[in-house]
Chain A
């Protein structure tokens, strides 16, 4: 292919957020040739949006914390559908990964004795989140970026991958295009690491950037890899709801960690109304105890605002549905109320939550030190993803690895806040290490000319269709987002989900008729047309898995089956492309937990 630029690497990483850069840094340090392909400019990936912090049981603030408690918290939060080995590795290795960032220049907020400060967060028993105000993600990505550019990795910015290339069963490269000129690229590699993030753009109200179109999920799926837990999509309880143009933008859980409370239109702290049994013993019995907890009183139990995200999102949803919401369809999140209770008052709030102060001031003309915020659930994070080996992060396709949000296993049915940034660091690094090992053992593979030809024809198809009554890619994307929001949202009914599956099939057909105007140079219409395949495929996976799991657990809430069913607690759902090209779904029994890990759960609860 004369007009296609070809690059060769030992390890190729797709995505340059926290997971991708962690993988790249460790792989480059191992001395192999490393390439990074990212859809945006370096340093812009969605990790920058992470606010609250990175969870790591360093016990700097509360010495009762340990990896064992972090492990138990993560498993409880995930309703025991997590891969226990991943939860174990994650809890054990996160502190070292955080300290590694400090070694590379990250500057976390400090305790009075000069160590890394840790804050409270939903579902974590002790203050555990290392943070930098409310811009922890930016600190993390910048640290990895600034360290990485001196490590020898080569970065290809604004390049999008559309297909994985294989040699037999093994993944040996990718097909991609660059945004600037629309030229095609082929990357050959000994091992490929997917670190592409999530799928939030399948929904109308979401906290995600345009990049979050499920690329890694679908690249892997199309290459024959298995996906798991796709029914578990996290709706973050607190997104902005007003004005309309900012609907969905994240409001950090750190607001609640610092003492912010949720109220309905009557001023009531409704979170006290319904506390799940398995969290009762850990939850404050009144407002005063909750307040003391946020201020570091070790004898106090956490306020119900800091219960897990799935529960808080459902409770907000209920208030709104039953007519007790705020004027624009949310509820109130109030941090201003703490002013008389903290030294410094408004200044204290601005210092602890500078990003939130700024965000509301600029986008909603609201001063959070004076007024409560209006917030509501927003599509935030995909627990489901590529099924991987816990230790190595390799998928069911040899040579193909996945880490971070596009991988699955650590979070089970619901992710705890702060466990995402630590996930990126721990499993990004592991994926990088094991990808190096694989590439060294197996060498660089071949890619087939025929596959490259097919991939380039598919990418160009939207230009070659005749005009006339062509479809508009933005229109289809918009319709999909509205439909998923309405029919496969927080509360799911089998009838609606079934309809959604039918509508996805229709939209797929229309997607085949998209016509693109203009040329190949930096053409968003074309890019959106190519992203549609991914969005539609992940949407189908979410809907099919949501329909199959006939119970409510974690982020999956079924209207027709409100409770947990112990039988469903024994299986993960696996999605795979069948030989006929149709989506297959099966139940995979969860392997029995190792006795020593089981003992931790029994002891800590």
Chain B
């Protein structure tokens, strides 16, 4: 099987600096960008740093920017790219660079830790468990498809261009929160205040870039962020709801 000779311009460098380096390599049938990177590693640059695991779009490790677009390199087929032009592969720009295509995503883990954990209501079925409807479960299952590739964080201009890491949790953690808030069993009441005051939900102006890059096709903005914004507004600004909540406690669901 004859491959197509192609130039890949891969970023090489670390926190101190670096540049794209050109590698000529053959692209065979069905190859994805991660295959090409491995081929370069095997044949030309054994110290090329790449982060990857499953190579099947399920673990979200191999995130990078291919021709400027945030992508999972394992799910980016070379046949979808113009191979007559050099293909640019660069690390995610929103996170500090460790080396080559590997970035320091530890900030995401710190953000998650601060979000109040799942708190189930008491079991209510006779056997000591819960009953849930498939359709209630499905709404949340969409968010739980997230593979934590952090491409949505990478593309979000609040983080990417405005560097609001200290006061903005980012799309990944809005849908994480949405999954908790809409979980049929959850009974934690305090996340909405956190969203408004700590996680900077208001910074999101719904450009939907996150939804566009999501490899799991989660409708992050429409199904997650917008309903959260509505809840926050209801919770905080509606005086009648506020009074009702004060007297009867906040409803869930």
Contact = CB atoms under 8 A, between A and B. Distances in A.
A249 B30 CA distance: 13
Interface stretch (A99-107, A296-304, A336-344): A99-107
B54 A49 contact: yes
10 contacts: A49-B56, A105-B186, A133-B141, A146-B117, A242-B30, A243-B31, A245-B28, A474-B46, A516-B46, A523-B46
A245 B54 contact: no
Contacts of B84: none
Contact of B54 (A46, A105, A364): A46
A516 to B, nearest CB: 7
Contacts of A245: 28, 30-32, 35
A139 B144 contact: yes
Interface of B: 1, 14, 28-32, 35, 41-42, 46-61, 75, 77, 98-100, 102, 104-106, 109, 112-113, 117-118, 120, 125, 129-134, 137, 140-141, 144-145, 147-148, 180, 183-186
B81 to A, nearest CB: 14
A377 to B, nearest CB: 17
A245 B76 CA distance: 12
A355 interface: yes
A291 B139 CA distance: 30
Contacts of A114: 125, 130-133
A249 B55 contact: yes
B30 A525 contact: no
Contacts of B180: 105
Nearest to B135: A110
B61 A132 contact: no
Given A132-B141, A209-B55, A250-B56, A521 B183 contact: no
A202 to B, nearest CB: 17
A210 B183 contact: no
B29 A44 contact: no
Contact of B53 (A107, A112, A211, A242): A211
A520 to B, nearest CB: 10
Given A48-B59, A115-B131, A138-B58, A523 B53 contact: no
Contacts of B130: 102, 114
Given A44-B60, A114-B125, A526-B47, 7 more contacts: A107-B137, A114-B133, A149-B109, A157-B106, A473-B46, A522-B49, A522-B99
A508 B55 CA distance: 28
Nearest to B48: A524
A244 B180 CA distance: 40
Given A142-B144, A474-B46, A42 B109 contact: yes
Contacts of B132: 107, 110, 114
A523 B49 contact: yes
B129 A99 contact: yes
Nearest to A244: B30
A110 B47 contact: no
B41 A46 contact: no
A115 B132 CA distance: 7
A472 interface: yes
B133 A110 contact: yes
A362 B79 CA distance: 11
Contact of A135 (B50, B104, B145): B145
B32 A146 contact: no
Interface of A: 40-46, 48-49, 99, 102-105, 107-110, 112-115, 132-133, 135, 138-139, 142, 146-147, 149-150, 157, 180, 209-211, 242-246, 249-250, 355, 358-359, 362-364, 472-475, 478, 516-519, 521-526, 528
A49 B59 contact: yes
Contacts of A518: 46-47
A271 to B, nearest CB: 26
Nearest to B47: A518
A517 B30 contact: no
Contact of B28 (A109, A244, A475): A244
Interface centre among A112, A146, A518 (most CB of B within 10 A): A146
Contacts of A362: 57, 75, 77
Contacts of B125: 114-115
Contact of A525 (B46, B129, B185): B46
A226 B14 CA distance: 43
B46 A524 contact: yes
A104 B118 contact: yes
Contact of B129 (A115, A211, A472): A115
A24 to B, nearest CB: 15
Nearest to B137: A107
Nearest to B76: A362
A107 B144 contact: yes
Contacts of B53: 40, 44-46, 48, 209-211
Given A135-B145, A524-B47, A249 B56 contact: yes
Contacts of A104: 118
A523 B98 CA distance: 11
Contacts of B131: 113-115
Given A110-B137, A245-B28, A363-B75, A44 B61 contact: yes
B206 to A, nearest CB: 26
Contacts of B29: 243-244
Given A44-B59, A359-B57, A362-B57, A522 B46 contact: no
Given A46-B54, A48-B147, A107-B144, A364 B30 contact: yes
Contacts of A523: 46-47, 49
Nearest to B102: A522
Contacts of A359: 56-57
Nearest to B49: A522
B105 to A, nearest CB: 7
A243 B35 CA distance: 12
Contacts of B57: 358-359, 362-363
Nearest to B117: A150
Given A44-B61, A135-B58, A524-B48, A246 B30 contact: yes
